[in-house]
Amino acid sequence: MAEFTMELNDDQKQVRDWIHGFAADVMRPAAAEWDEREETPWPVIQEAAKVGIYSLDFYAQQFFDPTGLGIPMAMEELFWGDAGIALSIVGTGLAAIGVVANGTEEQIGTWIPQMYGTPDDVKVAAFCSSEPDAGSDVGSMRTRAVYDQAKDEWVLNGTKTWATNGGIANVHIVVAVVDPELGTKGHASFIVPPGTPGLSQGQKFKKHGIRASHTAEVVLEDVRIPGNCLLGGKEKLDERLARARERARSGGGERVKNAAMATFEASRPAVGAMAVGTARAAYEVALDYAKTRTQFGRPIIDNQGVAFQLADMRTQIDAARLLVWRASWMAVAGRPFESAEGSMSKLFASEVAQKVTAQAVQILGGNGFTREYPVERMHRDSAIYTIFEGTSEIQRLVIARTISGMPIR
């Protein structure tokens, strides 16, 4: 087990600089265009695939970094480049995490490569959990999965919403209810293969920020998938459901994690790193602007009102990064999140991103309010971090329950 460190090693620095170069040279020049177009930046994804950033091997190398810092380091640099394009590049990762967290080795080996495709024929994947009436309240999920024993098939019906890459994905990972009486313990995750009849894209959302990332509804109408597309397999599911039913009968309170929560817990520090990247980008623009913009015969950074804002921005960004790195190291080291450290990192970093980008707009004044300067886009993009993969309110609820041991509502 690697010791916790705040110093990247030479290999990590090399990878960081490589990703930073791609973000600076490829992503940033394209950011404003794809934000305006509100379309998936397929050419940029393909460039990322050609250099090796959009690939299973790249994410596996970062995921298995023994220090735990590979993924947050990569996320920070990509989202420093541009949040919308970066989410298009890394959005497949949430579906991949869902398979790794809940699937068998055979499922991992079969489906994750199909999520990415090849540099000449790139593909994306989607993780579908939220529903119109079930966002933070996953217990209200209505999408059903019914097993057809005669055909060894699962039949899925329902509507998912807020799905990154929903409808355009090659592979969809869908969380559905298999036993309504068990609440969230009766959920399971399913692989919907490419071209499966009955799956269609519903409404595509026009968003405030991260507009280069495709977000849409996914409609499932009598979607039939093979039995082996149940993540983890039916034997494992039956055992888990039997334990949950026994606990329900005996009044036992032992917690059973559902498939969606297992995915989100694994990804929250990574979302915190995304927020750090956006915050750092806005801070750097504001710092450069304050040093070169003159008013009353001197750079505006000479004024304490501006300089102190920049000091606070840098302090908050560094603090957020430390929380993200701590949670990432704990996860890879097998340390339990006894105080919900994963949620802490996501909560703090996401709110820092909103504050820092707003301060950057303020420092640039009227220029910051125009699309001629990137902080306007960064400020819009930052709003998503306090919402997706668990709102700030949900993070506080998770933290409060964890530190108190009480069923706080």
| Cα–Cα distance, 184 to 180 (Å, whole number) | 8
- Verify that 153 and 105 share a domain, yes or no: no
**4 belongs to a structural domain:** no
131 and 219 part of one domain: yes
Instruction: Write down the catalytic residue from 181, 284, 389, 393.
Output: 389
Q: Is there a single domain that holds both residue 367 and residue 298?
A: yes
Asked whether residue 2 is domain-assigned, the answer is no
Provide the domain limits for residue 200. Answer: 125-250
| Domain harbouring 322, CATH code | 1.20.140.10
Indicate the residue among 76, 105, 122 that finishes a domain.
Answer: 122
Tell me if 217 sits within 8 A of 201, measured CB to CB: yes
Distance, CA of 76 to CA of 325 (rounded, Å): 11
| Residues 201 and 302 placed together within one structural domain of the fold | no
Note whether 265 and 259 are within 8 A (CB): no
Residue 409 lies in a domain: no
Does the pTM surpass 0.85? The reply is yes
Q: Rounded to whole angstroms, how far apart are CA atoms 384 and 400?
A: 22
Number of neighbouring beta carbons within 10 Å of residue 302 = 14
Q: Which residues of 125-137 are buried (b: 16+ CB within 10 A; e: fewer)?
A: bbbbbbbeebbee
Q: Is 389 a catalytic residue?
A: yes
What residues form DSSP beta bridges with 144?
157, 177
Whether 143 and 188 have beta carbons less than 8 Å apart is answered as no
CATH code, domain carrying 156: 2.40.110.10
Contact 76, 321 (CB under 8 A): yes
pLDDT in tens, 162-199: 999 999 999 999 999 999 999 889 999 999 999 999 99
Query: Which of 105, 122, 139 is the last residue in one of the domains?
Result: 122
User: Residues 273, 305: one domain?
Assistant: yes
**Same domain, residue pair 264 and 397:** yes
Residue 348 lies in a domain: yes
Residues 399 and 267 in one domain: yes
Say if CB 63 and CB 71 are below 8 A apart: yes
Per-residue pLDDT of the chain (409 residues; tens, 9 = 90+): 678 888 999 999 999 999 999 999 999 999 999 999 999 999 999 999 999 999 988 998 998 999 999 999 999 999 999 999 999 999 999 899 899 889 999 999 999 999 999 999 999 999 999 999 987 787 789 999 999 999 999 999 999 999 999 999 999 999 999 999 998 899 999 999 999 999 999 999 999 999 999 999 999 999 999 999 999 999 999 999 999 999 888 876 544 455 555 556 667 999 999 999 999 999 999 999 999 999 999 999 999 999 999 999 999 999 999 999 999 999 999 999 999 999 999 999 999 999 999 999 999 999 999 999 999 999 999 999 999 989 999 999 999 999 999 999 9
Residue 94 belongs to domain with CATH number? 1.10.540.10
State whether 336 and 281 are in the same domain: yes
In a domain, 131, yes or no: yes
User: Is residue 187 one of the residues assigned to a domain?
Assistant: yes
What is the tally of structural domains in the chain? 3
**80 and 216 part of one domain:** no
Whether residues 166 and 296 share a domain: the answer is: no
- From 182, 215, 250, give the residue that closes a domain: 250
Instruction: Say whether both 295 and 307 belong to one domain.
Output: yes
327 CB-near residues (< 8 Å, 6+ apart):
268, 269, 272, 337, 341, 342, 344, 345
Q: Cα–Cα distance between 45 and 203 in angstroms, integer?
A: 23
3 in a structural domain: no
Give every CB contact of residue 205 below 8 A, 6+ residues apart in sequence: 162, 215, 216
The answer to whether residue 5 is domain-embedded is no
Structure token digits, residue 289: 């602007």
In angstroms, the Cα distances linking 359 to 15, 187, 222, 355 are 30, 42, 49, 6
For residues 357 and 392, membership in a common domain is answered with yes
